[in-house]
């Protein structure tokens, strides 16, 4: 049986149509070369080879098909590379949050200016030195007190800035980070709904899938996720791939973040310390506190900065968060206040007003609280000395007493030229002190060196975070480059495709022209030879 005369025209028309559609897809790729999250699209085609009676069959049984069929448009994506990329995004999120937190602290513990804590300590030492040289110049006592007040102002300012950073990060964690995650979960669920509706109508909704993939990438930077696709039958013989998004903590607990069109949520409790984070799974799959079980991500890094105090934590922690620097600064202030208050304890007097000594001739120090001469007092007497809870003692501020110049007793009196106690204060500023909190010793050295040590510790923490961050960015870029090699639009490739599909379109058009010429010969020229 001879195939229909016009079958070749159908073949040519289908070839032209397929080439035209391929050009359209290539144009779409080129148009979205700079679109974030766009995945390269590809035209899916297959050969038509009908098995009915209407085909050309030679005596050898060779069968000729009926051209080409467009079966759909697909995206070029590698699920394995998506997993790698999102895992790296999660690691990057952790380090980025840590680096951002340390960067904010540099404004407190990076004294490039000349008016910081260390400068104030030097000024106090200089004033005390001058006082030791002129013990009868009582106005120098006022100078020392003024320098001490400047130092306390620095402490107060640092404490306030630390609290401001803590409050800002805490509020941002709840109102931005957690809120952003919840919004992304809702958007992914909504996209699942829209994609499914479009696919039911025969539209692959590739652009909506790109939006969903981009949201999944963003979500992975906040907390680690896994995505599994579930095949669901929406009509007899018709199936759709629906993604489910999961979170798994370090304790092995897994929660469903998105299930088809349903989504879970996160909630933060910032009312106390530590800041707590809870998760509620989709489809009512349960609620749990995940503060201590997040493996990685921006939420993990932010919680570490807010909650961890390094060596001061029970059992210790690997992250020197805000608590570490707050505790260390408070310890420095407490040690400073207690050291100078102890040095300024006056010598006890007897009933006749003479200073008292023991059998060895050493002065007997006053033990009556009402007769003490502290240089510093607590703003809140019920709390311990800290950077925010210290002031110049009211008695010193009123001039009821001043710095105890000497404690050396000679004939019941303290010599007017002896300045040994002022020298003790000078030595106290430069001599090694032991700084500790909650039974944890973190530094031994002078007050000046202790604050410098905090600066150095912060510099090390920041450098370590930034170095790790740069390494992770490098790995992420490599992973992204590999993924883009599969999913991304390459201009050179699209240019070659344009030439290829243009040539195939031209060839199909030429086929139609040739068939037209053949048909013209058949109709108009057959049987007229020899006339």
How far apart CA 480 and CA 226 sit, in angstroms, is 18
C-alpha separations of 503 from 23, 497, 498 in Å: 11, 10, 8
109-140, pLDDT tens digit by residue?
876 656 789 999 999 999 999 999 988 888 99
Cα end-to-end span (Å), the chain: 31
Q: 293 and 248 in contact (C-beta within 8 Å)?
A: no
Closest CA to 299 of 85, 98, 465: 98
176-208, pLDDT tens digit by residue?
999 999 999 999 999 999 988 888 887 888 899
Total residues found in the chain within this entry: 531
How far apart CA 91 and CA 470 sit, in angstroms, is 12
> Both tokens of residue 448?
């000046």
**CA quadruple 491, 495, 496, 502: dihedral sign:** positive
Identify the residue with better confidence: 530 or 159.
159
C-alpha separations of 375 from 147, 241, 255, 340, 396 in Å: 12, 74, 57, 7, 6
How far apart CA 144 and CA 281 sit, in angstroms, is 62
User: Three-state SS across 248-299?
Assistant: ECCCCCEEEEEECCEECEEEEECCCCCCEEEEECHHHCCEEECCCCCCCCHH
C-alpha separations of 133 from 126, 148, 398, 513 in Å: 11, 19, 24, 113
Say whether 466 sits in a helix, a strand or coil.
helix
How far apart CA 172 and CA 166 sit, in angstroms, is 10
Q: Cα–chain-centroid distance for residue 193?
A: 30
301-338, pLDDT tens digit by residue?
999 999 999 999 988 889 999 999 999 999 999 999 99
Other C-beta atoms lying within 10 Å of the C-beta of residue 296: 22
Q: What is the pLDDT of residue 37?
A: 85
pTM of the model: 0.86
Identify the residue with better confidence: 437 or 416.
437
Other C-beta atoms lying within 10 Å of the C-beta of residue 287: 14
How far apart CA 211 and CA 188 sit, in angstroms, is 9
147-184, pLDDT tens digit by residue?
999 999 999 999 999 999 999 999 999 999 999 999 99
Q: What is the pLDDT of residue 531?
A: 55
C-alpha separations of 242 from 233, 258, 301, 330, 502 in Å: 10, 10, 31, 54, 36
Q: Mean of the per-residue pLDDT values for the chain? A: 89
Q: What is the pLDDT of residue 113?
A: 59
How far apart CA 384 and CA 331 sit, in angstroms, is 10
DSSP 455: H
C-alpha separations of 512 from 10, 23, 52, 277, 509 in Å: 9, 19, 24, 68, 5
8-18, pLDDT tens digit by residue?
788 888 888 88
496-507, pLDDT tens digit by residue?
988 998 999 899
How far apart CA 153 and CA 387 sit, in angstroms, is 9
The predicted model gives 204-233 an average pLDDT of 91
Q: What is the pLDDT of residue 179?
A: 97
pLDDT at 55 over 50: no
Identify the residue with better confidence: 408 or 218.
218
> Both tokens of residue 334?
């407490």
Over its C-alpha atoms, the chain yields an Rg (Å, rounded) of 40
239-298, pLDDT tens digit by residue?
788 889 999 999 999 999 999 889 999 999 999 899 999 999 998 778 999 999 999 999
Q: What is the percentage of the chain residues whose pLDDT exceeds 90?
A: 58
Q: What is the pLDDT of residue 358?
A: 83
pLDDT at 51 over 60: no
Q: What is the pLDDT of residue 166?
A: 95
Which residues, other chains included, contact 141 with Cβ-Cβ below 8 Å and sequence gap of 6+?
131, 402, 403
> Would you list the domain boundaries of the chain?
7-76+489-524, 82-103+176-294
How far apart CA 491 and CA 405 sit, in angstroms, is 82
Band (1; pLDDT cuts 50, 70, 90): very low
How far apart CA 250 and CA 148 sit, in angstroms, is 49
- Kind and range of the H or E run holding 428: helix 420-430
């Amino acid at each position: 049986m001879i195939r229909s005369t016009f079958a070749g025209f159908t073949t040519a028309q289908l070839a032209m149509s397929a080439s035209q559609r391929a050009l359209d897809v290539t144009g779409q790729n080129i148009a979205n070369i700079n679109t974030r999250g766009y995945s390269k699209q590809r035209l899916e085609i297959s050969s038509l080879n009908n098995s009915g009676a209407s085909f050309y069959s030679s005596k050898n049984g060779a069968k000729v098909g009926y051209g080409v069929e467009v079966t759909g448009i697909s995206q070029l994506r590698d699920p394995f590379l998506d997993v790698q990329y999102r895992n790296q995004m999660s690691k990057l999120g952790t380090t980025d949050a840590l680096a951002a937190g340390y960067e904010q602290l540099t404004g407190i513990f990076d004294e490039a200016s000349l008016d910081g804590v260390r400068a104030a300590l030097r000024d106090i030492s200089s004033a005390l030195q001058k006082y030791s040289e002129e013990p009868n110049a009582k106005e120098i006592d006022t100078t020392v007190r003024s320098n001490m007040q400047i130092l306390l102002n620095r402490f107060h300012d640092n404490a306030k800035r630390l609290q401001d950073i803590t409050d800002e990060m805490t509020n941002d964690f709840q109102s931005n980070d957690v809120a952003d995650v919840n919004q992304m979960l809702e958007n992914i669920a909504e996209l699942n709904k829209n994609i499914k509706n479009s696919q039911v109508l025969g539209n692959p909704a590739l652009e909506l899938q790109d939006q969903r993939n981009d949201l999944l990438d963003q979500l992975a930077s906040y907390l680690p996720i896994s995505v599994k696709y579930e095949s669901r039958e929406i009509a007899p013989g018709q199936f759709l791939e629906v993604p489910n998004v999961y979170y798994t903590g370090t304790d092995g607990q897994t929660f469903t973040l998105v299930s088809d069109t349903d989504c879970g949520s996160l909630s933060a409790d910032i009312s106390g310390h530590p800041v707590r984070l809870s998760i509620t799974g989709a489809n009512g799959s349960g609620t749990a506190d995940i503060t201590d079980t997040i493996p990685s991500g921006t939420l993990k890094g932010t919680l570490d900065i807010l909650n961890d105090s390094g060596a001061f934590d029970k059992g210790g922690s690997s992250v020197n968060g805000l608590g570490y620097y707050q505790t260390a600064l408070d310890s420095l202030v407490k040690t400073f206040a207690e050291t100078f208050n102890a040095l300024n304890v006056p010598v006890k007097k007897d009933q006749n007003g003479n200073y008292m000594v023991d059998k060895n001739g050493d002065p007997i120090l006053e033990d009556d609280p009402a007769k003490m001469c502290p240089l510093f007092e607590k703003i809140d007497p019920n709390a311990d000395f800290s950077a925010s809870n210290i002031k110049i003692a009211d008695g010193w501020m009123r001039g009821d007493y001043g710095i105890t110049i000497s404690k050396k007793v000679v004939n019941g009196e303290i010599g007017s030229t002896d300045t040994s106690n002022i020298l003790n204060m000078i030595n106290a500023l430069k001599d090694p002190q032991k700084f500790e909190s909650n039974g944890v010793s973190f530094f031994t050295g002078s007050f000046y060196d202790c604050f410098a040590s905090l600066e150095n510790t912060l510099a090390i923490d920041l450098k370590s975070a930034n170095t790790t961050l740069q390494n992770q960015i490098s790995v992420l870029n490599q992973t992204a480059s590999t993924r883009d090699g599969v999913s991304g639009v390459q201009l050179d490739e699209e240019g070659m495709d344009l030439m290829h599909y243009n040539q195939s379109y031209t060839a199909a058009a030429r086929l139609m022209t040739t068939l037209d010429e053949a048909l013209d010969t058949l109709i108009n020229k057959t049987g007229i030879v020899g006339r």
